[in-house]
Structure 1
Amino acid sequence: MNAPVFDNSYATLPPRMYAQVDAAGSPKPKLIALNRPLARRLGLDPDWLAGEQGLAMLSGNDLPPGAASIAQAYAGHQFGHLSPQLGDGRALMIGEVVAPDGKRFDLQLKGAGRTPFSRQGDGKSWLGPVLREYLDSEFMAAMGVPTTRALAAVATGEQVHRETTLPGGIMTRVAASHIRVGTFEYFGIRGDIEATRALVDHVVARHYRDARSPLELLERVIAAQASLIARWMALGFVHGVMNTDNMAISGETIDYGPAAFMDGYHPDTVFSSIDRHGRYAWAEQPHVAIWNLAQFASCLIPLMGADEEKAVEDATRAVHGFPDLYQAAWMQNFCAKIGLQPSDSAKAFIDRLLDLMAAERADFTRVFAGLASGEARDEFMARDAFDAWYGDWQKAKPDPELMAKTNPVRIPRNHRVEEAIQAAIVDDFAPFHKLDEALHSPFENRPEWDDLAIAPLESERVTRTFCGT
């Protein structure tokens, strides 16, 4: 059995870009879940990770030789307001590994203790956010959506104090990188051109090797985000806290926090307990993405040539290209959901269906999954209106196979995730493991998973989610 071999490129950047810090450790760690397929994908030894030394690493008790153990510095616009210093307040990057296919990944412990960026926090996580992110991110991966991944979940054996006392946990998060728009902002607002240039070079080498200039890097990031947000929308996913420090330059979904998937559909759906004005509602996500990307662009302008006016024009033009890229990706995703190729007529079918769904708050996942199975009609009360739409749509000859491989039969429903968390609080992880297994096969129907596809009763609905800090 072999320990990870680390190859830490971020730790070679200027020291002001991170802080060296040790994990706090866990008094009585217990391995809840180990993602063995992901471990093998990374070239890691699952048996070593599941053993005594592996648990010591995953719990922050003893990092193997070569570990980086750093907290990254970043800033961020939170609900539109600039916070000049945020950083990893409850996370440590323990190192980078190079997978057998040559791709590089970060390993990060979330909930590993205080860092210089913790402000007034304890740097710990309670078990709920650990399990939520594990389930949500692994479902996203199963759906082919770019996302950070969950390698392991550990119960620390200590109590974490929030509104009440709760069991502590650590999640090992895997990411293509943890560099965010807010990482660039941290140096941009300080006028630190040297660090910004080093960061650009690092990102280009790691993620966008065909980008020959800062402008081309901006264009690549914009395209990646347009594709990503369209994928979110097609799953009814509400990120919940799309601050600039939660937008990954790699184009992966990052920081699930108060994230949730819609049950009943409405474009104004909001879950986050701190989003009181709907800034990050489902329908607002593409607009927020543009705003965030504009902040990224402003950080790159000083590197885009001596002619500042031209640099601003070029960056503005690039950001203004987002809507067309997003709309093309949206069409591709939503047309597949109704089994049609992108066209104006297909767009009209989607719009009509979404209007019908919004009027009744029909279940987003069950309606689209039901189109392929012939059961979508059961999700509507105004069945005459649905029947009229259905008859017109059938004349367009939708592809049932395309729908069946596009629309999941189950998602991480909020009430099921909450059930798993509440059971875990009393040391019962069976609901979590059942849900985890089912979400790794989101298109597969099995009798033992039927209950996980059922929409919640009114009394079961979870309408507010929380960051967990």
Structure 2
Amino acid sequence: MSLHIPFDNSYARLPAQLFASHAPTPVATPRLVAFNHALAATLGLTGTDEEDTLAQVFSGSVIPPGAEPLAQLYAGHQFGHWNPNLGDGRAILLGEANGYDIQLKGAGRTPYSRSGDGRAWLGPVLREYVLSEAMHALGVPTTRALAAVETGEEVFRETALPGAVLTRVATSHIRVGTFQILAARQDITGLQALFEHTLTRHFPDATGPVDLLDAVIARQAELIAHWMSIGFIHGVMNTDNCAISGETIDYGPCAFMDSYHPNTVFSSIDRQGRYAYANQPDIVVWNMAQLATALVPLMPDQDAAIKAFTRSIHAMPALIHHSWLRRFRAKIGLNTARDGDETLITGLLTLMAQQGADFTNTFRALVNDSAGDQFVDRPAYEDWARPWRDRLEQEPGDPQATMRAANPALIARNHRVEQMIQAAVAGDYTPFTRLMTALATPYDAPGAFSDLARPPSEDERVQRTFCGT
């Protein structure tokens, strides 16, 4: 085999109760449909020029030398309800290369599959490939997509669908739920080992559980503010989908908003709107409180630990708000902070919600002061814009450059993603390739891709997104 992956598998050296050693299940006729050569170079992979070999390895049909495949144990709160019976039910970690996890999603059943088949179908695989790489290009911390492979087998959901496997790359797959399951089992040995591993891997400057919590909080606060600034809705912010590393993980029913409204929900399983756009800051604080609870057993003085953790959790909303304000200032061209900035920002958002203005296009149009075109009631916009223009005149530097760097021209719009999936299922990968090319430079003028900036027509509008499990 010419393909070489420089494996060094630190997670496989943790106590055995943290995972189940388990090989992926081979597939019938794997065919490579996408491979991320730039990411492969970052991982130190060599010999990546043989598509058949890549298809065999990244479908799970051939285990590469040095891999130690395993399924990770975790639990979590799902929509606020504790579920102790989780773990990688259809994902298998091959190992680590250059400090990154290489994981196969849809690689077959594991000891944690419960009643699932351990497989994935092509739609969610391509969706995660596009969304995760689009988020990376937007500058958002995220898992990455290395490969997508058709399996040549059918997956049965409501109907028969083409099977596929995604190769996901992350700085780790350690979740809040990974800590939770060990704390719930009162497995202090395992919890201590996971804690030490997490410090080594992600937070080498941290010296104890309080430091760890504060470091995770800082990353999550920045991440959620970043999501909010680009109109991203994760859709299923369960604690098992909350990465300790501060990366966006698990692109299931996620979506970007078209028309702005703070209560926007796409996820078909979020019937109460728990994970609506505007609720994401509160939910991440709740998730961090669950992490704090799981860390308490590691502290010798648990009363003192609870007080310290409580202070950290109570300080988090202000951290999120600070990051949110910094990002939204940039979105309207402000490099300096002044009283009244937040009122200016929220005034625009309120007007956008009232008139259904497109989130991405409105902010991008501020660059050349043409955002009024996004509003039905243009005089109402002009009432907002006059003090905004006055404020810009007082700004040093180049406010237009600030706005251009903060406001993408292109996002992975839901209707385009769905159109891409439908085409791929029919055997046409042209829309996938075009979408990937366009979304690689989202802050550039769209040029030949300007059609991808268009919001959906009424018959193109995506009302619900799905997990795809």
TM-score, normalization: structure 2? Answer: 0.97
Task: Establish whether residue 328 from structure 1 lines up as the match of residue 322 from structure 2.
Answer: yes
Equivalent residue for 1:133, pick from 128, 132, 137: 128
Q: What's the CA shift string for 1:209-263, capped at 9, x where partnerless?
A: 0001111001100111000000000010000000000000000000010000000
1:376-428 CA-to-partner distances (Å, cap 9, x unmatched) read 11110011110111111011116000001111001000000000000011111
Distance 1:390 1:355 in 2: 13
Separation in 1, partners of 2:85, 2:220: 24
Q: What is the CA–CA distance in structure 1 between the aligned matches of 2:205 and 2:383, rounded to whole Å?
A: 49
| Corresponding residue of 1:420 | 420
CA distance in structure 2 between the partners assigned to 1:446 and 1:350 by the alignment:
26
- What's the CA shift for 1:2? 4.2
Letter in 2 for 1:316: T
Alignment equivalent of 1:356, drawn from 340, 351, 375: 351
Q: Deviations over 1:285-320 (max 9, x none)?
A: 010101111110001111122x22111101111111
Query: How many residues are treated as equivalent by the alignment?
Result: 462
Gaps of at least 5 residues in structure 2 are none
Q: How far 1:42 sits from its partner (Å)?
A: 1.7
**Matching residue of 2:429:** 429
1:337 aligns with 2:337: no
- Given the alignment, which residue of 171, 196, 200 partners 2:195? 200
Residue 458 of structure 1: how far off its partner (Å): 1.2
Deviation at 1:53, TM superposition (A): 2.3
- Match of 1:344, SS state, is coil
Quote the Cα distance in structure 2 between the aligned partners of 1:373 and 1:90. 47
Spell out the pairing of 1:206-285 with structure 2 (5 A cutoff). Answer: 206-285=201-280
Aligned position for 1:48 = 48
5 Å matches for 1:15-26?
A: 15-26=16-27
Work out the CA distance in 2 between the residues paired with 1:17 and 1:186: 9
Q: CA deviation at 1:349?
A: 1.0
Question: Take 2:50 and 2:67, find their aligned partners in 1: how far apart are those partners?
Answer: 18
1:375 deviation in Å?
Answer: 2.4
Query: How far apart are 1:188 and its partner, in Å?
Result: 0.7
Distance 2:21 2:131 in 1: 30
CA distance in 1 between partners of 2:162 and 2:287 (Å): 35
Q: 1:172 aligned to 2:167?
A: yes
How do 1:329-408 and structure 2 match up within 5 A? 329-340=323-334, 341-397=336-392, 399-408=399-408
- Given that 2:32 and 2:52 are in contact with CA atoms closer than 8 Å, whether structure 1 keeps it comes out as no
SS in 1 for 2:85: coil
Shift of residue 344, structure 1, vs aligned partner: 2.8
* Structure 1 spans left out of the alignment, 5+ residues: 99-103
SS at match of 2:48: helix
Tell me what 1:309 maps to. Answer: 303
Q: Any conservation in 1 of the 2:409–2:446 contact (CA below 8 Å)? A: no
The answer on whether the counterparts of 1:231 and 1:333 sit within 8 Å (CA) in structure 2 is yes
Provide Cα deviations, 1:149-168, integer angstroms capped at 9, x if missing partner: 00111111111000111101
Which of 266, 269, 281 is equivalent to 1:286?
281
SS in 1 for 2:225: helix
Asked if the contact 1:30–1:156 (Cα under 8 Å) also holds between the matched residues in 2, the reply is yes
**Aligned residues of 1:331 and 1:342 also touching (Cα < 8 A):** no
Which letter maps to 2:405? Answer: K
Work out whether residues 260 and 414 of structure 1, in 8 Å CA contact, stay in contact via their aligned partners in 2: yes
Distance 2:273 2:404 in 1: 32
Q: Distance in 2 between matches of 1:246 and 1:446?
A: 32
Instruction: Give 1:59's aligned residue.
Output: 59
1:36 aligns with 37
Q: State the Cα distance separating 1:3 from its structure 2 match.
A: 1.1
Q: AA paired with 1:43? A: G
Work out the CA distance in 2 between the residues paired with 1:460 and 1:50: 38
- Mapped partners of 1:194, 1:223: distance in 2: 27
Q: Quote the residue 1:120 is aligned against.
A: 115
Aligned to 2:141: 146
What's the secondary structure of 1:321's corresponding residue? Answer: helix
- What is the CA–CA distance in structure 2 between the aligned matches of 1:50 and 1:441, rounded to whole Å? 28
Q: What TM-score do the two structures reach when normalised by structure 1?
A: 0.97
